Chain A
């Protein structure tokens, strides 16, 4: 192995890391099995900050003109553009938030910048053991554009221009992406492009195929997934939509559940893991006390406990012990506060950490205290709606 080859193998790229996280859930050869499917589809992980794509099929890459590295780690929004219908974008966003399937025609853009209409069909994939959403699978079926609808009217509108008739007439019976000869600007200006019945069936078939592969390979791995939620989500498991919302907050914080014994951590941000040097699976389910050590002032701990019992916010300066390589301690300016959900009752406590040394080198535009409180505010907004599911 040459020097350049060996040094390259030392570093996992971000792409490989995300793909690795995906494969870890399933048994070996999952990616190869998915690669064999002819369809265009992507798989996203709501538990990674930014809800990124963690798998993209060869069919997807071919359709959009991107390479695998350019797609993995990006959010699906990246393929939308200025003329993409805003209401359709909202439909997808809300389906994700409500953890339910959606099928909608939408305008997307290739790497070249050229627009194309496709039928977007997305389903949640649930873990059988804990009932939470593990992934979202999204299938893309290009629409030939035979029928178009304007708004909510049902008339099949055939435009008068010869060019469009040529485009449409010759391809009536084929399910392909629109021919390149069609004026792209016109494509963008269509209010809506209805998929044909056969295109809709294609999307259902594709979704089914992908789900079968995932189910089979999860079974082998002993952690079955399925298309329907088989059990109620366990109490200490947050909904994927809450996790997605929390994933947008870049600062270090945790959510703890005061209703569970010993008030365990139910969410930890990436920044918290970086600050403390722990891995996510090491902290979830644990009480925060693992961050305290020999020299942590017990009166401060007592003060915190009192505030929690009274349901009041408080800020303390506390000595914490990290799990970073140097096992260093750090002064943590910690702010905790109770957070209510839609019922109006306290559902969680949020703890926002601020390393004391960082206090002075914070952004000169926003005071560190304000930044810390903004995390509390963002968590309140996210949690406030987290129980508001439509019936």
Chain B
């Protein structure tokens, strides 16, 4: 059974067109779609990661300076700083934004959501088709590039969620599909570390967890506020041989893992990559949030798209058209309807995210899979800790349609 949902994709590039329209018109920036060399990387400024002592604010200045340049040149579909935003009253401080321009009033297209791993499709939009002006700079962990590796670039997201919203596209000309591999996640982690700003987060959406485009990319932006997920307490489960501490989130509507520590950036990154690859191979969609300048990484498995395809989500929630990608999972909600923005509350945000989360049982299963893949065992005590809801003191229990999921898997 092929699971699909209908939704309107966010436009991240000015050259991204309606999927169905592609067959009729020429696409991309008008150049030969079979050619991979739509972009000229040589003309871009180049940033390579430097040892810690050198100019720490350089990446930030480069990114902000280039972004502001595109901002003033009108390359974005709207001025995101003109979008009203507020913190919802409550313990966690969910952040809501009224953004009517981000999602188009277009006919929704179909997205297959039951395959976390899908092969790259040259006929669909990908990042070799963005125009030169949407690219800000080339970003590499170190030079020279390994033989045969294409450059990695940072581009603007023309429908930004916040100021400075960029896309990191590892080895852009290699047209990697949207899936985590060790080298790419390490590059994304480097970017968070080099930015050296706890308010610059890097995020990843797998297919099925609301990635818009099946061409490997990470997203990042600045928001000088804490994300609710960053405030959640965590309970340590285990420590890997490389010193990476893995904890589970407590009293947060989404069940997820937190990775910290490690004897080096690479070891932290590899632990998360190993866990992600395990999820990918088991067809579990997930999001990754790299926060605290690369010191804390959240791994959040989800089942919302599947649930939606199987009709398990209330129409009320569907009407808000909030697609819980990594930013929403972290507590930053972009709302397109004024009534949703005016009426936004912590309770509503909580209940939306609770729908997205795996159930406790499923989460335990997934953790077992992950720890087996990473090669460590859970030290967690089997205490029955009551998971409190921060709002009413009662339970918010989530069952992620276990029976439905089994059905899907068996097909």
A249 to B391, CA, bound (A): 39
Residue B17 interfacial (CB < 8 Å) = no
**Contacts A90-B231, A150-B236, A191-B236 known; 9 new A-B pairs at CB < 8 A:** A86-B295, A90-B292, A152-B235, A152-B385, A250-B57, A372-B65, A373-B69, A374-B64, A381-B199
Question: Chain B interface: which of A52-60, A117-125, A254-262, A363-371?
Answer: A363-371
Residue A385 interfacial (CB < 8 Å) = yes
Q: Is the CB of B68 within 8 A of A376?
A: yes
Q: B261 to chain A: closest CB distance in Å? A: 8
Q: Is the CB of A374 within 8 A of B65?
A: yes
Residue A313 interfacial (CB < 8 Å) = yes
Q: Is the CB of A381 within 8 A of B64?
A: yes
Residue A378 interfacial (CB < 8 Å) = yes
Residue A8 interfacial (CB < 8 Å) = no
Residue B131 interfacial (CB < 8 Å) = no
> Which residues of B lie under 8 Å from residue A191 when comparing CB positions?
236
B interface residue numbers (CB < 8 A to A): 45, 57-58, 60-69, 71-72, 79, 81-87, 89, 93, 95, 162-164, 198-199, 222-226, 230-231, 233-236, 247, 250-251, 260, 292, 295-296, 381, 383, 385
Q: Which of B222, B251, B295 contacts A152 (CB 8 A)?
A: B251
Q: Is the CB of B64 within 8 A of A152?
A: no
> Which residues of B lie under 8 Å from residue A367 when comparing CB positions?
45, 65
Q: Is the CB of A390 within 8 A of B89?
A: yes
A323 to B23, CA, bound (A): 65
Residue A28 interfacial (CB < 8 Å) = no
A231 to B328, CA, bound (A): 36
Q: Is the CB of A381 within 8 A of B222?
A: yes
Tally A-B pairs: CB < 8 A: 130
- Which residue of chain B lies nearest to A341 when distances are taken between CB atoms in the complex? B81
Q: Is the CB of B247 within 8 A of A370?
A: no
Q: Is the CB of B61 within 8 A of A366?
A: yes
Q: Which of B72, B85, B89, B163 contacts A313 (CB 8 A)?
A: B72
What are 22 A-B pairs with beta-carbon distances under 8 A?
A: A86-B296, A87-B230, A153-B383, A191-B236, A367-B45, A369-B65, A370-B45, A370-B65, A370-B66, A370-B69, A372-B65, A373-B68, A373-B69, A374-B62, A374-B68, A378-B60, A381-B64, A381-B224, A384-B85, A384-B224, A388-B86, A389-B87
Q: Which of B60, B162, B226 contacts A374 (CB 8 A)?
A: B60
Q: B213 to chain A: closest CB distance in Å? A: 25
Q: Is the CB of A381 within 8 A of B163?
A: yes
- Which residue of chain A lies nearest to B81 when distances are taken between CB atoms in the complex? A340
> Which residues of A lie under 8 Å from residue B65 when comparing CB positions?
366-367, 369-374, 377
Q: Is the CB of B236 within 8 A of A245?
A: no
A370 to B65, CA, bound (A): 5
A94 to B224, CA, bound (A): 10
- Which residue of chain B lies nearest to A376 when distances are taken between CB atoms in the complex? B68
Q: Which of B72, B225, B250 contacts A151 (CB 8 A)?
A: B250
A385 to B83, CA, bound (A): 12
Residue A155 interfacial (CB < 8 Å) = yes
A55 to B132, CA, bound (A): 52
Per-position 1/0 for A267-304, Cβ under 8 A of B: 00000000000000000000000000000000000000
Interface residues of A in 211-247 (CB under 8 A from B): 245
A269 to B68, CA, bound (A): 20
A94 to B227, CA, bound (A): 11
Residue A74 interfacial (CB < 8 Å) = no
A385 to B332, CA, bound (A): 13
A366 to B89, CA, bound (A): 41
Residue A167 interfacial (CB < 8 Å) = no
Q: Is the CB of A374 within 8 A of B61?
A: yes
Q: B350 to chain A: closest CB distance in Å? A: 16
> Which residues of A lie under 8 Å from residue B251 when comparing CB positions?
152
> Which residues of B lie under 8 Å from residue A86 when comparing CB positions?
260, 292, 295-296
Residue A174 interfacial (CB < 8 Å) = no
> Which residues of B lie under 8 Å from residue A345 when comparing CB positions?
82
- Which residue of chain B lies nearest to A391 when distances are taken between CB atoms in the complex? B89
A339 to B68, CA, bound (A): 12
Q: Is the CB of B85 within 8 A of A388?
A: yes
- Which residue of chain A lies nearest to B295 when distances are taken between CB atoms in the complex? A86
- Which residue of chain B lies nearest to A380 when distances are taken between CB atoms in the complex? B163
- Which residue of chain B lies nearest to A152 when distances are taken between CB atoms in the complex? B233
> Which residues of A lie under 8 Å from residue B89 when comparing CB positions?
390-391
Known: A153-B235, A191-B236. A378 touches B64 (CB 8 A): yes
